[in-house]
Amino acid sequence: MKIEIESVKKSYGKREILKDISLFANEGECIGIIGANGSGKSTLFAGLAGILKLDSGRFTVDGRDLLSDIPSIRKYVGYVPQGIPLFDELSAKDNLLFWYSKEELEKSLEGGMLSSLKINEFIDMRVSRLSGGMKKRLSLGCAVSGGPGILFMDEPTASLDLPGKAEVYKYMDDFRKGGRTVFIATHDETEIRLCDRCFLLKDGKLAPYSYAGDLEKLVKEL
């Protein structure tokens, strides 16, 4: 699977949020997009996931431009936003049924992605009663309903405790097996270390960034 992002641009009025963003990713990689709050990380991911309309650019998978065929994006891309896009008053199962048929849900709970996420542990619980880690796992379960090969995760462990973070990191590792690719938007040092390659998004421009463990230097460069 060859993934290429080319010349992506997005402006709000006269303010350029994304200026000619380009990068590529290989199968099985974890790509980190580092940037301060407000740098455009969420805008980039929402645009590439087809949630937000970009001004221009291409997002190709094996030569197919997904941005020119938004309905097809769900077949290739899973997207987990920073917030929790769930219905609090419904059970975990009812939330999943927005994304899965009953047959698909049962199959995934028995031995698929939802099984690896251990959704069965709280499948009948109301979302409002779930812990932060459970909600994040449920959000992941919804995002991968179509069996995508690409996963965009916006600050994947924000506000989670250590056990919750460990669960998400394990799933990220499991997802990459078999050649699937993860993109994470982050400014968390632990998550940066999990990435195969990182890019710094600043002033609307994206540049390769190599983190050598100097947190003070990173903070100054954000």
Q: Is residue 123 part of a domain?
A: no
pLDDT of residue 55: 96
Q: Is residue 95 part of a domain?
A: no
Rounded to whole angstroms, the Cα distance separating 36 from 186 reads 8
pLDDT of residue 83: 80
- Compute the average pLDDT of residues 73-79: 90
| H helix intervals, the chain | 41-48, 73-76, 92-96, 102-111, 113-116, 132-143, 162-176, 189-194, 215-221
Query: Residue 182 is part of a domain; what is its CATH number?
Result: 3.40.50.300
Of all residues in the chain, what percent carry a pLDDT higher than 90? 62
How crowded is the C-beta side of 48, counted as CA atoms within 13 Å? 34
Q: Is residue 44 part of a domain?
A: yes
Rounded to whole angstroms, the Cα distance separating 191 from 212 reads 13
Looking at every residue in the chain, the average pLDDT score rounds to: 91
Of all residues in the chain, what percent carry a pLDDT higher than 70? 100
**Does 70 score more than 90 pLDDT?**
no
Tell me the one-letter amino acid at 166.
A
Q: Is residue 65 part of a domain?
A: yes
pLDDT tens-place string over residues 39-52: 999 999 999 999 99
Q: Is residue 194 part of a domain?
A: yes
**Does 123 score more than 90 pLDDT?**
yes
Total count of domains within the chain? 1
- Compute the average pLDDT of residues 104-110: 93
pLDDT of residue 165: 86
pLDDT of residue 146: 84
* pTM of model > 0.85: yes
**Does 11 score more than 80 pLDDT?**
yes
CA dihedral 57, 81, 138, 26 (to 10 degrees): 40
- Which pLDDT band holds residue 130 (cuts at 50, 70, 90)? very high
Q: Is residue 20 part of a domain?
A: yes
Rounded to whole angstroms, the Cα distance separating 93 from 100 reads 10
pLDDT of residue 218: 77
Domain of 193? 3-83+150-221
Q: Is residue 112 part of a domain?
A: no
Q: Is residue 131 part of a domain?
A: no
**Does 214 score more than 80 pLDDT?**
no
- Say if CB 30 and CB 24 are below 8 A apart: no
Rounded to whole angstroms, the Cα distance separating 201 from 44 reads 10
pLDDT of residue 180: 93
- Which pLDDT band holds residue 202 (cuts at 50, 70, 90)? very high
- Which pLDDT band holds residue 129 (cuts at 50, 70, 90)? very high
**Does 24 score more than 90 pLDDT?**
yes
- Compute the average pLDDT of residues 149-163: 88
Dihedrals phi, psi of 128, to nearest 5 degrees: -60, -20
